[in-house]
Structure 1
């Protein structure tokens, strides 16, 4: 295997989640040989200062890696700016990155899988990124590989290369074309019909997402993401603790302790694509979430749901 990819971890104000993420990551077979860069965002307001400081205490003395570098922001940037700036800085130096956020628990073979894929698919210009997470899809036993392709990247434990990252249009200069072209939106939504809604919310300023812009650039270039058949990432942040994450069991998976075999050649499987699209298509709750954002009551409803969960 060539030089291992550096790992980037973005943290904010969740000390318990951050500890779990780091403990699981340290158990990876390649952790001690890997460089880790941690980006800590500053508190958005005074109510966040204590939790941010607690996180910074945790990341100030991380062991188990080849080298650990911590960047503590002096002012709050928000997740989107933190990711775009942080990934750009590291990928420009190392040519490739593996990226995590503070609510992701990894399998012990996550790093081995990601590094193997980065090496195997580096020269395959059809591949946009590598995902460590995979939803639990309906996949036929006749499918012969342990990874599959999908036309949509995933921000829960991912990796990519400098030449792909450098092509992203963060301003989405051609959004009006997508907005006015029904056929184009239909093509974009082959990865799930939530995509066009999310990009619309991004462009209207209702959300601040780096990931939907990343996925839209992937779509425009007709590239694919490599997914493991069984997930090597578990997200434990679907508990109202995050700024963006909802409270839902939809994305719950069993964390798998295995290293997928990486094929030398892989093609899109139409049946898997159908299953993938069905998983991400909005249900009634999802459409209500879209509607609530557009009439400006989403944050209020989220606070009420969070409060009701605490009462229960």
Structure 2
């Protein structure tokens, strides 16, 4: 059995359509169970767009593209964080593993192959927290031969994990008071990006509502890694100002994999050069506050 795919959609019909269509072109689409979670409108502005999204996803089961399609429509607005936490918790309990997408992610044709192969390869490796399908275009060291690399930070743009990892997350971050005052811990958390401690502060202060920073924090506490591909299997099309959870940016543009060759997984060591290149993609703390405050305002307004 392949891992089920969960897609979380809201009020972007054109982005949702592109996400579904690219997934339907995957080599393993016909063998994959698809769960689509549709959040309810938060305000009157979003009613019509949510309706258009729901009208579209209602047509998917009729096309017989996937092994099965189940659509879950919320009657109340949960917001992205609660939608993902509750949706993943429900499905991972039944299946033991999940692959997760949002409504603005284009996947390569081998996305499902990459994800399922990685889930199988690393399932019993207790140093691996999650699998990312997205990656930056990085300049890898000449001597680095692996087709994947490790990072201290999880990714929310096309990811996968297992039930035993998901179940350990403390969504309330009950030890935050200790973390907040400990500079050593804060610096260590920021190994995955200079923005991480500040984002957790913003989450606890109620300035943002992010499941991902809490997911990353639990990874940090567990001292585990996320597997990234050298060549991305996901491209984000949502950083165009169109959505609740995005601003306008080309900062994270990447090249989508076109090769039909299967990814070869192994157990590489952490590479300091790659870790630095990865971390630098998140900029300085000053850049973080300029860029992310614009994005987070849109998140809070949910327009």
TM-score (norm 1): 0.91
Q: Give the length in aligned residue pairs.
A: 297
Give matches, 1:269-284, under 5 Å.
269-282=271-284, 284=286
What is residue 100 of structure 2 aligned with on the other side?
Answer: 99
1:262, CA displacement in angstroms? Answer: 2.8
| Structure 1: gaps of 5 or more residues | 307-312
Aligned-residue offset at 1:219: 0.2
Superposed counterparts of 1:159-178, under 5 Å: 159-178=160-179
**The 10-residue stretch of structure 1 (252-261 or 32-41) with the greater mean CA deviation from structure 2:** 252-261
Q: CA RMSD in A?
A: 1.9
SS in 2 for 1:83: helix
Deviation at 1:284, TM superposition (A): 4.4
Aligned partners of 1:289 and 1:227: how far apart in 2? 24
Residue correspondence of structure 1 range 12-91 to structure 2 within 5 A: 12-62=10-60, 63=63, 64-91=65-92
> How big is each residue's C-alpha offset from its partner over 1:15-43, in whole Å with a ceiling of 9 and x where there is no partner?
00000000000000000100000000000
Matches for 1:238-257 after TM superposition, within 5 Å: 238-257=239-258
CA distance in 2, matches of 1:58, 1:254: 28
Compute the displacement of 1:274 (Å): 1.1
> Which stretches in structure 2 are left out of the alignment for 5+ residues?
none
The question of whether the paired residues in 2 share the 8 Å contact of 1:228 and 1:260 is answered with no
**Cα contact 2:115–2:131 (8 A) shared by 1:** yes
Measure how far apart 1:298 and its partner are.
6.7
TM-score for the superposition, normalised by structure 2:
0.94
Q: Over residues 104-143 of structure 1, what are the superposed CA-to-partner deviations in whole Å (9 max), with x where a residue is unaligned?
A: 0000000000000000000000000000000112211211
| Mapped contact 2:4–2:35 kept (Cα < 8 A) | yes
Q: Is the 8 A contact 2:147 2:263 kept in 1?
A: yes
